[in-house]
Amino acid sequence: MSEALVGAFRRERLIRFSDCDPAGIVFYPQYFVMFNGLVEDWVDAMGIGYRRLIAEQRIGLPTVRLEADFRAVSRFGDSVTLALEVERLGTRSLTLALQCVGAGEELRMQMRQVLVTTSLETHRAIDVPAALRTAILRGNSDGG
């Protein structure tokens, strides 16, 4: 998973003062907050609507597993690219490959994240909604 994500959904993100720690670099949990925002943007860009999914359909996307590698530091003021690709679409889960890339294509951090679709009433897994499945299979709005 260390090669660049071809055909991925991408967004630029400025590293904020509030993302950084006393060492002047991104406080690592903040990468997960940034990627959470990227997943929101991706769901929105596919026309599904993240808010609609969560607040109206009451479907959650909790993380059940993740593996992350931190390769290089990001400093505040850096402009980074966040990229997302679906590695695997299961019956009740999605496996995403995510990257944060800095200037000169430097890989800063990457992760593989398994999300399950759940009912927010019961917190139990449910099938990936048909509309989301179709949108993912069609390819996301930015990617190839």
Q: Are 116 and 93 in contact (CB under 8 A)?
A: yes
Cβ-based neighbour number of residue 29 at 10 Å: 9
Stretch that binds a copy of itself, among 1-9, 16-24, 91-99, 133-141 (CB under 8 A): 16-24
Q: Mind giving me the DSSP string for 28-41? A: THHHHHHHHHHHHH
DSSP 8-state assignment for residue 75: B
Instruction: Choose between 7 and 64: whose C-beta lies nearer to a copy of itself.
Output: 64
Instruction: Choose between 4 and 14: whose C-beta lies nearer to a copy of itself.
Output: 14
Binding residues with a copy of itself: total (CB under 8 A) = 42
Half-sphere exposure of 126 (CA within 13 A, CB side): 14
Footprint on this chain of a copy of itself (rule: CB under 8 A): 14, 16-18, 20-25, 27-30, 32-33, 36-37, 40, 49-52, 54-55, 60, 62-71, 73, 75-77, 120, 123
